[in-house]
Structure 1
Amino acid sequence: MASSQTQTHRYFIALLLLSAAFPPSSSSDDAKFAKSLIQFKQSLTNAAALDGWLEPAGASARLCSRNTPLWSGCICLNGSFVGLRLVGMGLGGAIDAEALAELPLYTFSVARNNFTGPMPDLGRLTRLRSLYLSDNGFRGEIRGDAFAGMRSVRKVVLAGNYFSGDIPASLVELPRLVDLRLQDNMFGGRLLEFRQANLTGNFSNNRLRGSIPAALSGLNATSFYG
């Protein structure tokens, strides 16, 4: 019983700390973020799912009502806009990285859409903790320093695309990375010598060769199939 009470106490403390980290944003902040979201939307094609994103009148825009998004695809916490989850919306076109850089994004997901071309330059999203670009048509090599500015990232999911070339070296330098999903691409070369403790991942169905680094030797064999 004492152990259960202790766990409950810790859970509520964690909730309080998390809420304190995201104080409710003001209407002027939301109006500014709304303009950036609309700029981002303008670079997209087949964006009917985002028809509710409308230019705010003055400073009247609100993106969140506590934890409930008022704009489709927004993620809200304690009244603050903290991310975008635009999954399976049929979106295409380009990803306007400059518009995204003006937003306080902790999570960005465009998984299961119709994006093509090279990976967008998201290095300015320095608050980002989770990135999901999986199951699109992204292709080509990723710059070695593509993740250099994203040192808060904990999860990177690039699975199910057509990325090729070497795995970006800057992933090794991300101190908080704990989950990396690169399966079902065309990455080549050798696996990097990842140093992050407790890193999990999936590298299967690529064109990788050579030995498995010691830091990844604890992963299930299915993480390296294909």
Structure 2
Amino acid sequence: MTLNLFDQFISPVCLGIPLIVLALLLPWLLFPSPSSRWLNNRLVTLQGWFLNRFTSQVFTPINQAGHKWALLLGALMLYLISINTLGLIPYSYTSTTQLSMNIGLAVPLWFATVLIGMRNQPTAALGHLLPEGTPVPLIPILIIIETISLFIRPLALGVRLTANLTAGHLLMHLFATATFVLLSLMPAVAGLAYIVFSLLTILEIAVAVIQAYVFVLLISLYLQENV
């Protein structure tokens, strides 16, 4: 039973071709591009409004040098939201449930923020490894702890996104299976399971959006420390 539950997270393959590539490219086809007309359609207007609100909220506490990341993080935010929400469609595939993909997104972005800090302000970047006013006997231990916490950041980013989406999908699968199995045996219990399943679906849509926002927000916080 456990093996069947986790089969939904296996990357689908058709004729030896991994379909994860299609799942990664499909969201970009859904975003309309602005035209040269004076007035755009509602979807383009909504998309532009969302990006403006997102960038103004995330990049307000960041220095002017970090505003160059606005396009990258805004596109990443829309991309993660699209992948997470499209994965809720039945018989679809959520590529962000793969830890390897999330780590592949987190490590380069985190490493880029570290390199920016080492290049622009090496003293402040290294100063994060040792809090001010630390007693001398604790200096070696704190440096080791802060170094480990620095290198564990991309792993935490990837695991957080993977674990939240995987747990939500598993719960939805469990309650959907319970509704189907108990429908003929105990209709009242099946109805209750269906209500819980419906509430879980709404919650999972919120989780898909929130986890994408948290992923990008944490990267912006790492950027804020290094610019």
**TM-score, structure 1 normalization:** 0.26
The one of the two structures with greater contact order (alpha-carbon pairs below 8 A, sep at least 6) is: 2
Structure whose alpha-carbon radius of gyration is higher: 2
**TM-score, structure 2 normalization:** 0.25
Which has more strand, going by share of residues?
1
